[in-house]
Amino acid sequence: MGKVAVCTAAVCAAAVCAAAALVVRHRMRSSGRWAKAMAILEELEDKCGTPTGKLRQVADAMAVEMHAGLASEGGSKLKMIISYVDNLPTGDERGSFYALDLGGTNFRVLRVLLGGKEKRVAKQEFEEVSIPPDLMIGTSDALFDFIADALKKFVDTEGEDYHLSPGRQRELGFTFSFPVKQTSIASGALVKWTKGFSIEDAVGQDIVGELTKSLERVGLDMRVAALVNDTIGTLAGGRYDNPDVIAAVILGTGTNAAYVERAHAIPKWHGLLPKSGEMVINMEWGNFRSSHLPLTEYDIAMDVDSLNPGEQIFEKIISGMYLGEILRRVLCRMADEAAFFGDTVPPKLKIPFILRTPHMSAMHHDTSSDLKVVGSKLKDILEISNTSLKTRKVIVELCEIISIRGARLAAAGILGVLKKLGRDTVKEGEKQSSVIAMDGGLYEHYTKFSNALESTLKELLGEASDSIVITHSNDGSGVGAALLAASHSQYLEVEDS
């Protein structure tokens, strides 16, 4: 009996020792895993670094590329497209004008009543129409006939306020958010379709010509006065509200910038200089790239896997379509190399673009003590449950690193534009105000991003920051397009004389 008891005690002691060793090994392994995860985080933080000196180099490179793009076609990664918009709204515009905003699977038709300096936008009405999927891959006539028909129905609901004086034609601002080679203020050839459209017979055609033929077929007497993109619309809307607006930046799913250039500073412009002496330039700045951009292995891999490798590099590190995907790629590596979410990589985490920037923003802005929002996003989107607070804190830190890099680089881009215009320094005895009109969901809804952008601009500009103002200019693709129809109306000459 005594021997058995002794044996049992020995077995128990051995079992306790084995269990203790297992716990120690598990702790060592998990601390090893944790150290590996921390090493990945620290490496990311280092590679995404945007010290002031680096941002200045990015701004200088942006200004250099702007000069090159204005000098000759194809002279730069920045296309610096001449928009033919040489008159921005002044606030004096009067009358009723229409806008058509076509940029995706829906389009909007809009009318505004402008009442000059006193009444401004006296009234506005709009309607949104979904495009049937078969029309997105059909013929040019079918798509534009459908749009013209919707526009005619909308015009038919026009109230007394909007009626034009006899003999006067209705005028339309057309926001067309696809690549176009513009040939005048109201003409441009479609370069290619994006966003799920594939209408072969429209490629290479003048988009305004196609719409005009359809308007004639449905019996609507309306002239397209301006063909623009949403960034230029934002600039027009901003200028209408504030004469000091000199540039517009969109930070949404994608990103772009447009600004007002002196016409004689555009060597590739061969036409007559416009009377205003100014020309709006559509930078297409998403395509900017420079050796000074702090790129990581995640950015490079994402670019290689994208539909447009080697293109839109600036857009891929600062805009809403990509920030969540960069976060997913970092988490994938942590899951794979540091067992960050347990012994296997969660299957959902392997799906590209499953983690969207609004999800990232929600996690980044989580102020609850247990980071409840982070936990629920991981569970709902990635099916990762039971995460520790320590794990959630790391995820918030990753959101911070990725989004702040994007915001600070966007600020450097804006500094580049200000440098090109000579508005980045204080001039003796000169009181000039430079206003940048901003729009886009990323800027509007990701508060930590927009706050970082604005504080970085202050940091870069120093005392000159007092003369730079950032303002939110909403709905450039709608009201802005109608305002551009007004500032490029065929009746302006008549009214001025």
Positions marked catalytic: 108, 177, 230
| Among 209, 225, 223, 183, CA closest to 87 | 225
What angle (nearest 5°) sits at the alpha carbon of residue 12, between those of residues 10 and 13?
A: 65
* Bridge partners for 114 per DSSP: 95, 121
Contact assessment for residue 110 and residue 482, using Cβ atoms and an 8 Å cutoff: yes
Both structure tokens of 65: 């590329």
- Count Cβ atoms below 10 Å from residue 21 Cβ, excluding itself: 10
Please list the alpha-helical segments (H only) found in 80-120: 116-119
CA distances from 300 to 77, 116, 216, 311, 317 (A): 18, 51, 49, 11, 10
DSSP 13-61: HHHHHHHHHHHHHHHHHHHHHHHHHHHHHHHHHHHT---HHHHHHHHHH
| Among 281, 271, 194, CA closest to 229 | 281
Interior/surface letters 75-107, b for 16+ CB within 10 angstroms, e for the rest: bbbbbbbbbbbbbbbeeebebbbbbbbbbeeeb
> Which amino acid belongs to residue 147?
I
Q: Read off the DSSP letter of residue 391.
A: H
CA distances from 412 to 34, 66, 164, 361 (A): 35, 14, 46, 22
- What is the enclosing helix (H) or strand (E) of 151? helix 140-155
Both structure tokens of 403: 């989004």
CA atoms of 385 and 477, how far apart (whole Å): 42
CA atoms of 366 and 89, how far apart (whole Å): 41
Using DSSP's 3-state secondary structure scheme, residue 456 falls into helix
Tokens 């921390």 -> residue = 38
Using DSSP's 3-state secondary structure scheme, residue 96 falls into strand
| Among 468, 393, 392, CA closest to 423 | 468
